[in-house]
Amino acid sequence: MAADQFLEAVRRALRHGATQVGVGPQPAGGGIVALVLHLSSLRPPAPRPHHRRVARVILQDVAARHAGQVFAFANGDIALLCEASGLHETGRGQTVREASAGDPAGLPSLLVAALTRLLRIDTIDPAGLISVWPLGTDHAPLLAYATARAEERVVAPPPDDEPAMHPGVADEIGTLIGKAHIHDLMQRQTAVALRPPRDRALQDRAIRPIFCEVAFSIAALTARTGGAHAGSDPFLFRHIAAQLDRRMLDFVADQQGLAAARGAPPLHLNLTLGAILSPSFAAFAAACRAAGATAGVEVSLIEASADSRAFAAARTAVMRAGMALALDGVSHLAMLLAAPWLLETDLLKLDWSPRLEDLPDSDRRDMAAAIQATGAHRIVLQRAGSEAAIQWGLALGIRRFQGRHIDAMLGASRIVGCALSSACALRQCIERGGAIGPAGRAGCGNPALLDAAVPSLAWQNAGSPAQPIRRPLPLAPHLTPLRAEAAALS
């Protein structure tokens, strides 16, 4: 629709000697210019609805002042067709320098500058997303573009808004974790330390497990809540996390197999601040001590940033429990915008993003400085799903990794060492290695090896999920002081 109108408007302008857009009152003189913003070329998750919405407003603003028109195409691109003269004025009383010599129509330098500045967060080459085609000169590329849009058959236009997660999903998940076998909703993943050959003696292992993270599987929760993505609303998800982690703490602390974790790499649990400050955490810490198992705690940066006092108290509680604290979910943008290393956690889990491979130079320098400020030895590069992630990390001195690429490396080493491996594909071994419940591990003939790199909890003994933990605790030493305080209060 918009594409047909655009093609027609371009043709009409060309018929009129490229001096009229064809809509509204036309000032005499000056050429017509087309500006196309190729939002469809952005790498997912962009372009998001807000990219289109905001870009459209900016272009419409210009169109209103320059007798122009804006066209939003079904592929997500947006075009502006308007009078070229005077476009170097911003319309807000500001003017910018005249267009450069390479900008033949005296073009919209401020407009292009504004758009490139806005889009630099989403692409390394924002200028490459913008085509400026003055109609008076070579109009073949413009006509080709307009024709391509008009001939394009797009099944569904891009959504105007990201689907909002309904609060009811939180209730559904709450009900779900009360009912389901909790181990079917959880997964585990091993983080490792890698030693490149130059760092190690011949007898050292190149890959060494450092901890095993146990977490609720967003995919499993999403699959059971009618497809509403359980992690799509960060606020609602934090609320859900608070429900999940109490259950997880009770579940893990109650596993008889915790004793078997002695000497294995620590278990890492992702917890909310409220859970760390709750009796469930104290019970979990006591169970670990009793079993001689080591454990660590992960707190997300979002969670930490919401309440500095609770974070400080939780950090103290984790430290007193003799556990390591990891700051989880630190995006590379968080490293560039804030100083998360000042939260002084033992580890900082940096999310790998393909964007890290092609950061602008200034961001690349800032990122290196942030890693140095953190200490590369404290960083775990997580979501490392490719060789590129590992290479990027190693080049910056990072030695700790977690993610699907590591899962594959561990899976491959199991396959090599397993007498029964002819029955399994590598992908199956990887998936079973990440499963906690018996359903996800079914088919493996060598479960001991499946658990060899990770603490082997006796998951298969997990009973009904609704049982609260009941273990003997020492008699209350607080009773006497309490009586005194009661007297003081009254």
Of 289-318, binders to other proteins (CB under 8 A) are 301-303, 305-310, 312-313, 316-317
Best CA proximity match to 29, nearest among 81, 86, 96, 72: 86
Q: How many Å is the Cα radius of gyration of the chain?
A: 29
Phi, psi of 410 (to 5 degrees): -65, -40
Bridge-based pairing state of the strands 207-216 and 267-270: parallel
The string of DSSP letters for 140-178 reads: HHHHHHHHHHHH---SSPPPSSPPPPPTHHHHHHHHHHH
Q: Which stretch binds other proteins (CB under 8 A): 167-175, 187-195, 223-231, 392-400?
A: 167-175
CB of 457 closer than 8 Å to CB of 260: yes
Candidates 152, 171, 204, 387; binder of other proteins (CB under 8 A) is 171
Span from 194-202, 257-265, 336-344, 357-365 in contact with other proteins (CB under 8 A):
336-344
Which residue among 122, 346, 357, 431 contacts other proteins (CB under 8 A)? 122
Applying CB under 8 A, the site for other proteins has a residue count of 75
**Rounded-to-integer distance, Cα 413 and Cα 405, Å:** 13
φ and ψ at 133, to 5 degrees? -125, 100
At 52, list the tokens. 């289109």
Contacting other proteins (CB under 8 A), which of 395, 416, 419, 479?
A: 479
Pick 137 or 372: Cβ nearer other proteins = 372
CA distance 343 to 310: 12
Give the long-range contacts of residues 446-449, CB within 8 A, separation 24 or more.
446/418, 446/419, 446/420, 449/414, 449/417, 449/418
Would you say 117 or 262 has its CB closer to other proteins?
A: 117
Q: For other proteins, which is the closer residue by CB, 196 or 474?
A: 474
Q: Of 263 and 481, which has the nearer Cβ to other proteins?
A: 481
**In the bound complex, what is the minimum distance in angstroms from residue 357's beta carbon to other proteins?**
16
Cβ proximity to other proteins: between 279 and 417 the closer is 279
Q: Of residues 121, 144, 154, 458, which one binds other proteins by CB under 8 A? A: 121
Give the length of the chain.
490
116 contact partners, CB below 8 Å, separation of at least 6: 126, 127, 129, 130
Judged by beta carbon, residue 8 or residue 171, the one nearer other proteins is 171
340-359 residues near other proteins, rule: CB under 8 A: 340, 342-343
Could you tell me which of 334, 387, 339, 332 has the C-alpha nearest to residue 364? 332
Q: Within 13 Å of residue 410, how many CA atoms lie on the same side as its CB? A: 30
Give one word for 18, left, alpha or beta, with left for phi > 0 and alpha for psi -120 to 50: left
Three-state secondary structure of 462-484: CCCCCCCCCCCCCCCCCHHHHHH
- Single out the residue of 15, 43, 117, 200 in contact with other proteins (rule: CB under 8 A): 117
Query: Is the CB of 85 or the CB of 232 nearer to other proteins?
Result: 232
How does DSSP assign 412-467, residue by residue? Answer: HHHHHH-TTGGG--HHHHHHHHHB-SHHHHTT-S-HHHHTTTS----GGG---TTP
Query: What is the smallest separation between the CB atom of 339 and other proteins, expressed in angstroms?
Result: 5
- Tell whether omega for the bond before 108 is within 30 degrees of 0, i.e. cis: no
Residue number, 207 or 277, with CB nearest to other proteins: 277
The single-letter code of the amino acid at 96 is V
Stretch that binds other proteins, among 118-126, 134-142, 206-214, 397-405 (CB under 8 A): 118-126
Residues whose CB is less than 8 angstroms from the CB of residue 142 and which lie 6 or more positions away in sequence, other chains included: 10, 34, 133, 135
* Window 39 to 58, contacts with other proteins (CB under 8 A): 46, 48, 50-51, 53-54, 57
Residues from 357 through 416 that contact other proteins (CB under 8 A): none
Binder of other proteins out of 333, 420, 426, 439 (CB under 8 A): 333
Nearer to other proteins, 26 or 60 (CB): 60
Q: Which is nearer to other proteins, 137 or 467 (CB)?
A: 467
For the window 85-114, what string marks contact with other proteins as x by the rule CB under 8 A? -------x---------------------x
The residues in 7-36 that bind other proteins, with binding defined as CB under 8 A, are none
Q: Which of 101, 202, 395, 489 binds other proteins (CB under 8 A)?
A: 489
Identify the CA nearest to 9 among candidates 26, 21, 24.
21
- Would you say 85 or 123 has its CB closer to other proteins? 123
Structure letter (DSSP) for residue 5: H
> What is the DSSP-derived secondary structure letter of residue 353?
-
263-282 residues near other proteins, rule: CB under 8 A = 274, 277-279, 282
Give the one residue of 193, 242, 259, 368 binding other proteins; rule: CB under 8 A: 242
CB of 126 to other proteins, least distance (A): 11
Which residue number, 137 or 308, has a Cβ lying nearer to other proteins? 308
Give min distance, CB of 240 to other proteins, in A.
9
What is the footprint of other proteins within residues 414-473 (CB under 8 A)? 468, 472-473
The correct pick among 17, 128, 141, 167 for binding other proteins (CB under 8 A) is 167
Instruction: Answer for the pair 66, 24: CB distance below 8 angstroms, yes or no.
Output: no
Q: Does 177 bind other proteins (CB under 8 A)?
A: no
> Taking CB under 8 A as the criterion, which residues in 181-240 touch other proteins?
233-236, 238-239
Per CB under 8 A, which region of 24-32, 145-153, 356-364, 480-488 contacts other proteins? 480-488
